[in-house]
Amino acid sequence: MRFHEVIHGIYFDDLDAFQILHNARYVLLFERTIGSFWELLGTRGPLGAMSDPDQHHLVRANHIDYLHPVTGDMGKVRVRVWVEKLGTTSLTFGLRCLPMDQDIDCARGTRVVVKVDPKTRRPEPWSDALRQRLAPYVGAPDA
């Protein structure tokens, strides 16, 4: 099983008064990594129900465990994303934030999104085409 990983810079305005990455910035790093993942799969761009019905999804939940502080002197971090679970209408992303030089979790989390009809905003099933593109990323990530 594969994962997608992006390197992000940590900047002065990302830090709190203790020179540690502010807790809200992890959500932003996870968001940017998920966006890069969607782009890799070819499902990012102008919204269009006819061109890509799987673009219409809403965030149902975010969960983050903060395990090891990211300090201002780290400069960069790696963020990984994979699919922990692919349901009929929902998708749970697994997320990890790691330092550049070690495989330890600074933060670990999940995001659940639900595919919705663009007009009614009611849940509807993911397409078979997206399921095929996601298949290599579903499950526990390889080390």
Is the residue at 42 inside a domain?
yes
Contact 131, 43 (CB under 8 A): no
Is the residue at 103 inside a domain?
yes
Residue 42's domain comprises 4-137
**Which amino acid does the sequence have at 102?**
Q
Number of domains making up the chain? 1
Is the residue at 143 inside a domain?
no
pLDDT of 45 higher than 80: no
Is the residue at 127 inside a domain?
yes
Q: Please report the beta strands in the chain, taking only residues with DSSP state E, as ranges in sequence order.
A: 4-9, 57-66, 76-86, 90-99, 107-115
For residue 132, give the CATH number of its domain.
3.10.129.10
Q: What is the pTM of this model?
A: 0.91
Model confidence at 49, pLDDT cuts 50, 70, 90, reads low
